[in-house]
Structure 1
Amino acid sequence: MCRNIKTLFNFDPPATEDEIVAASLQFVRKLSGFNQPSKANEAAFNQAVVEVASAARSLLDSLVTNAEPRDREIEKERARIRNAKRFNVIE
Structure 2
Amino acid sequence: MCRNIHQLHNFEPPATRDEIHAAALQYVRKVAGSTRPSQANQAAFDQAVATIAAATAALLDELTTAAPPKNREVEAAKARARAEKRYAS
TM-score (norm 2): 0.97
Q: Deviations over 1:17-68 (max 9, x none)?
A: 0000000000000111121000000000000000000000000000000000
Residue 58 of structure 1 is matched in structure 2 by: 58
User: What is the alpha-carbon distance in structure 2 between the residues aligned to residue 23 and residue 77 of structure 1?
Assistant: 20
Given residue 55 of structure 1, which amino acid in structure 2 is its aligned partner?
Answer: A
Give unmatched runs, 5+ long, in structure 2. Answer: none
Residue 79 of structure 1 is matched in structure 2 by: 79
User: What is the alpha-carbon distance in structure 1 between the residues aligned to residue 56 and residue 69 of structure 2?
Assistant: 18
- How far is the alpha carbon of 1:87 from its aligned partner? 1.2
Indicate the SS of the match to 2:39: coil
User: What is the alpha-carbon distance in structure 1 between the residues aligned to residue 46 and residue 70 of structure 2?
Assistant: 31
1:39 correspondence with 2:35: no
Q: Give aligned pairs, total.
A: 89
Give unmatched runs, 5+ long, in structure 1. Answer: none
Identity across matched positions, percent? 56
Relative to its length, the structure with more helix (as a share) is 2
